[in-house]
Amino acid sequence: MLLIILILIFVRPFICTLAFPYLNFVYSLVLLIFLGVYLFYKKPSFLKIQGLNYPWILFYLALCLSMFFSQNRFNSLAQLYQYLSGLGLFWVAYSLSERNKLLTIQTLVLAGLVISVLAIYQYLFGFKHVLDYLSVNRLSFPFILDYLQRKRVFFPFVTPGVLAGYLAMILFLALNNKNRIWFVLLIFSAFLLTKSVSAFLSLFGGVVIYFGIQGKLKKANLLLLGGLFLLIIVMIIGRSATQKGYLHPAFSAVMRLSYWQETLVIIKEHPLVGIGLGNFNLVNSRYAHNAYLQIWAETGILGLFSLIWIIFTVFKAGVKKLAQSPDKRQTACLLAASAVFVIHNLLDFTFFLPEVSLIWWVVLGLAIAGDKI
């Protein structure tokens, strides 16, 4: 049964939710069935994680209230599977033995390596295929044309930022592998080709956390951080000097501020229970480009508070486990990978894309696997 779930975890990043909604629905249904069967027969001890009982209950209470007061309950039901799948994958990951935990990490890294190869292939050969497809079908999407013009890879995801956010997580998992140098080089090469400033900032934060929680913020590592920060500055300057209009990085920042302001208006009107799962939609965007503001808008203050409580509790337990763990690098890698996702969603929306968010729930569970909070 676990083997089937691992196969489903491996496949998940290759199914773009927005591009293949029907396939995503079928996949989600299959995943929920196997998660339900696995948890029913394995019966992992939920009570062992006493520190997480209350935030989980509060989180799902917020989801139920949000659905009850939802402006469109069909949309809310359609969105609920993502949270149920995330919860199921978290519990499966948490209940794994050390051997199966390592197998799961290897599965995630393998998927990341395949996607990195596909992204590099797109950079070398794939842009022409996309242009030909758009030309034959007489389609014109300015932002896709921007990606092609700037040679920013995004396959198999919907934007370069989403791909970069995913690869940033996998980068830290690859650090735990025996062949980590080659794996990290391959994944980081694909990551560079996304040219995503927000993902670079989140990676920088993840590296700080990776060294910081291990007490390794020494001169050599500080030089590495300085080099990464310099790379971010060079990227911003380079894009600013060569792009104008909506292609300019400043335009992206201004648009994000606009989305946040619109989202805050929604929050002001529905602060307690939100507008309901899956009902968020702005004039020019389906996402707020800040997952936490969007969660507040959809599920109310209770939903946001309980999710932050869950994240804080897991990280607190993970840092405590790090001090006692015989494999400190593995624990640090898992915590840093989780942190990258959390930071990236301050500026992006991968929390609402199951091809990335479900991987995060797995990583979050692995970070405290076998531990009693």
Give CA–CA dist 256/278, Å, rounded: 20
Q: What is the DSSP string of 272-320?
A: TT-S-TT----SS-SS-S-HHHHHHHHHHHHHHHHHHHHHHHHHHHHHH
Helices and strands in the chain, H and E counts:
15, 0
Please, what is the end-to-end C-alpha distance for the chain in angstroms? 27
Q: With beta carbons less than 8 A apart as the criterion, state whether 365 and 93 touch.
A: yes
Average pLDDT, the chain: 86
- pLDDT given for residue 118 in this prediction: 95
Which tens digits make up the pLDDT trace of 107-157?
A: 999 999 999 999 999 999 887 777 776 666 665 666 676 777 778 899 899
State the pLDDT at residue 142: 63
Q: What is the pTM of this model?
A: 0.90
Low-confidence winner among 168-172, 255-259, 321-325 (lowest mean pLDDT): 321-325
Helix, strand, or coil here: 43?
coil
Average pLDDT over residues 302-317: 94
Q: What is the structure's pLDDT at 106?
A: 95
Specify the pLDDT at position 227: 73
Cα-only R_g, the chain: 20
The full set of domain ranges for the chain reads: 2-367
The fraction of the chain above a pLDDT of 90, given in percent, is: 53
Average pLDDT over residues 77-96: 90
Q: Which position has the higher pLDDT, 231 or 360? A: 360
Using pLDDT thresholds of 50, 70 and 90, give the confidence band for residue 41: confident
| Residue 1, pLDDT score | 82
Which has more confidence, 228 or 161? 161
Tens of pLDDT along 186-226?
999 999 999 888 899 999 899 989 988 888 777 656 676 77
Task: Please tell me the distance from the alpha carbon of residue 99 to that of residue 237, in angstroms, as a whole number.
Answer: 46
Q: What is the pLDDT of residue 245?
A: 47
Residue entry with tokens 């930022």: 161
Distance CA 31, CA 8 (A): 7
| Three-class secondary structure of residue 40 per DSSP | helix
Q: Answer yes or no: is pLDDT of 342 > 90.
A: yes
> What is the rounded distance in angstroms from the CA atom of residue 274 to the CA atom of residue 365?
27
DSSP 165-177: HHHHHHHHHHTTS
CA torsion angle 334 335 339 341 (round to 10): 20
pLDDT tens for residues 112-123?
999 999 999 999
pLDDT score of 246: 46
Q: Hey, which of 18-22, 28-32, 243-247 has the most confident mean pLDDT?
A: 28-32
